[in-house]
Amino acid sequence: MIGSNQNELERDEKIDVLHSIPFFIVHAIGIVGPFFTGISKVAVVVALSLYFIRMFFVTGIGHRYFSHKSYRVMVCPKVTQGLMAFLFTTCVQKGAVWWASHHRHHHKHSDKPEDVHSRKLRGLYWSHIGWILCPKYHSTNEKLVGDLKKYPELMFFERFHLLGPVVLAVLCAILGLWLGPQWGTSWIQMLVVGFFTSTVLLWHGTFAINSFAHMIGSQRFNTGDESRNSFFLAILTLGEGWHNNHHHAQNREAQALMWWEYPFDVTHCIIRIAELAGFVQIKKR
């Protein structure tokens, strides 16, 4: 029965090459572009900064706030939440509501036939990239995000999710223009390396949790899925690599559990500092 269900699921799971062209173009610019524009120290600093800042937007905003509601915003919650939804769109991973809907679905059916990006059942390539390029998953899983859909400001950024990436790309170009030859850079270099290359890295850093975090590392808890804890992935993803801990206690804000894991859960450290400053309140789980 499970086998026939899986065949049914796989029949309409195909990559749409035509609609995936923007995905390939971003990769081409981000990987090949630097050979044409050259690389300067300042462009590398901006690219790495935008990688880690936006990784925090993915983990601290898209994942721990919108997907799991693991902490509350204490200062102007509605306005701040809208701003957070905008910041999330700069990660070029659609809107926070779309992202949360698929992530919640993953937790509901982890490594079961319904899981859209199970590394165990569908392979490494499908879990890492394939499902993102499949038209079946381009839409939001509405049933799982009723709590988020009621906010019009969130739905605005859901609809105009390309606004954030365009604003960030323009800001990168302006920064390059401003710094200019005296810093060894240019607007095109800052656009290509600062925006596109860091975006490609950010994508694969994020995708690695769907793929490699269900493959490499150790299992502390028997969660009934393949989720694992990986020190290496925790560094790359600001703490998301403690993925087996997370599958064990999904709505707990921190993903580190042992004292030595906390320094490598940078997302938690930032949210805890925000809590000490009175901006947010971590929910007790």
Q: Which residues bind Zn ion (CB under 5 A)?
A: 227
Element (H, E) at 280: strand 280-282
Nearer Cβ to Zn ion (59/81): 59
| Shortest reach from residue 166's CB to Zn ion, in Å | 28
Nearer Cβ to Zn ion (130/194): 130
| 227-231 own/partner pairs: CB under 8 Å, 24+ apart | 227/110, 229/261, 231/264
| Shortest reach from residue 127's CB to Zn ion, in Å | 9
What is the C-alpha separation between 217 and 21, in angstroms, rounded? 33
| Shortest reach from residue 104's CB to Zn ion, in Å | 8
User: Which residue has the CB atom at the shortest distance from Zn ion?
Assistant: 227
Nearer Cβ to Zn ion (33/130): 130
Could you tell me the sign of the dihedral formed by the alpha carbons of 17, 20, 24, 29, in that order?
positive
Any alpha helices (H) in the chain, and if so which ranges? 2-11, 21-37, 41-56, 77-89, 96-108, 119-128, 146-149, 152-159, 163-179, 187-189, 198-210, 231-236, 243-248, 266-276
Nearer Cβ to Zn ion (50/202): 202
| Shortest reach from residue 26's CB to Zn ion, in Å | 25
